[in-house]
Amino acid sequence: MDPSLYKDTITSRRLTYHYYFSPARPSKPTLLLCHGFHSTAYDWRRIVPHLKEKGYGILAPDMLGFGETAKPTDPAAYVPSLISRDIVDILDAENLEKVVAIGHDWGSKAVSRLANYYPERFLAYAFFAVPFMGITPPTDFQISLDYLKQKYGYEIYGYWSFFSAPDADEVIQAHIDSFVSISFPYDPTIWKTRLAPTGALRRSLLEDYVAPRPSYLSEEDKKHFVETFRRSGFEAPTCWYKVMTSQLSAKDDGQIPFERALPPMSAPLYFGAAKQDYICLPKIGYAVFGSDGFSKHSVTKKEYDADHWLILSKPDEIAHDLNAWIESTVATKAHL
């Protein structure tokens, strides 16, 4: 991704966002790419060239707390309504009336709330690894953990407690090689033991668990990751978890009107599941999009033989599938 195509803008709440922007060719839509934790817009580097070649515009921000974007450390700054407004402010800065929103990991949450708050600004929505995240009432985090353990046989989100702890940044920085090994697993099944259970991530870091790099993470990629987060830290990024465990996010969602609880039926949806993701389980996404609420939506589903980081390991396939979906389903629905 050409460094000269990065820009900055100040949003209506006076926060600086850093983003990559390449304009679309005539008749082609712009694609908004929202990354998740612990990433930057750089995570889209292997997909962007394919999409640019097809003529799509690309808008890929460093999401709040990451990269060169502002890094508030108050979790209240990360409630979905505010982040949604930030992103629309970026669209306004580039005079983009309607775009296709694409998210991975927590980026899928951002895309979900854009569908709730600003559906008039989007042609379609794509979700990778994490499906559309619906509105849920404020619930004690431990109750949620217990429910998911009963449903799926093991805790899925126990690591959220570690990321919500005040010393998380300090522990991660002191054991960064171990953190890379767990975050980008050589063996995806280790997430069931090294990451998902409550306390497992902290224990694994403190014992300096290290494994080989997966094939999609080069030594250069690892160096870029370490240098980025050595410089910027994890105190701001972990607010994406703190806003969940504190129930701030759920309380903020309470203002979404019932009629906007789901994306509009006129907007096509795409779900890319990661077959070897042992936390963001494909079956969760299939259940979401197979529910009655989506029975009248146009939902395209595709499963990739990849772990959670499918946007790194399957870029050619994903770019091809997105282009096919946009050229057929989205173009037909949106009259492109």
Task: Name the β-bridge partners of 239.
Answer: none
The model's pLDDT over 144-161, given as tens digits with 9 standing for 90+, comes to 999 999 999 999 999 999
Whether 250 shows a pLDDT value over 70: the answer reads: yes
State the burial class of residue 43 (Cβ atoms within 10 Å of its Cβ: 0-12, 13-18, 19+).
Answer: buried
The stretch 6-19 carries a mean pLDDT of 98
pLDDT for the residue 335? 66
Residue 218 near residue 137 (C-beta atoms within 8 A): no
The model's pLDDT over 66-94, given as tens digits with 9 standing for 90+, comes to 999 999 999 999 999 999 999 999 999 99
The three state secondary structure string of 98-151 is: CEEEEEECHHHHHHHHHHHHCHHHEEEEEEECCCCCCCCCCCCHHHHHHHHHHH
CATH classification for the domain delimited by 3-137+254-334, as one of 3.30.300.30, 3.40.50.1820, 3.30.1490.20, 3.20.20.370 = 3.40.50.1820
The share of the chain scoring above pLDDT 70, in percent, equals 99
The share of the chain scoring above pLDDT 90, in percent, equals 97
The model's pLDDT over 39-67, given as tens digits with 9 standing for 90+, comes to 999 999 999 999 999 999 999 999 999 99
Q: Return the domain boundaries, the chain.
A: 3-137+254-334, 141-245
The residue type of 223 is K
The model's pLDDT over 189-221, given as tens digits with 9 standing for 90+, comes to 999 999 999 999 999 999 999 999 999 999 999
Tell me the pLDDT of the chain averaged across its residues.
96
Reported confidence tier of residue 257, pLDDT bands at 50, 70, 90: very high
- Placement of tokens 């410089």 in the chain: 231
pLDDT for the residue 333? 77
For residues 133 and 138, what is the distance between their CA atoms, to the nearest angstrom? 14
Whether 336 shows a pLDDT value over 80: the answer reads: no
Considering the entire predicted model, what is its pTM?
0.97
State the burial class of residue 208 (Cβ atoms within 10 Å of its Cβ: 0-12, 13-18, 19+).
Answer: exposed
Reported confidence tier of residue 270, pLDDT bands at 50, 70, 90: very high
Sign of CA dihedral 99, 110, 233, 198: negative
**Selection from 89, 131, 102 nearest residue 288 by Cα:** 131
For residues 266 and 301, what is the distance between their CA atoms, to the nearest angstrom? 17
Classify residue 184 by its DSSP letter: S
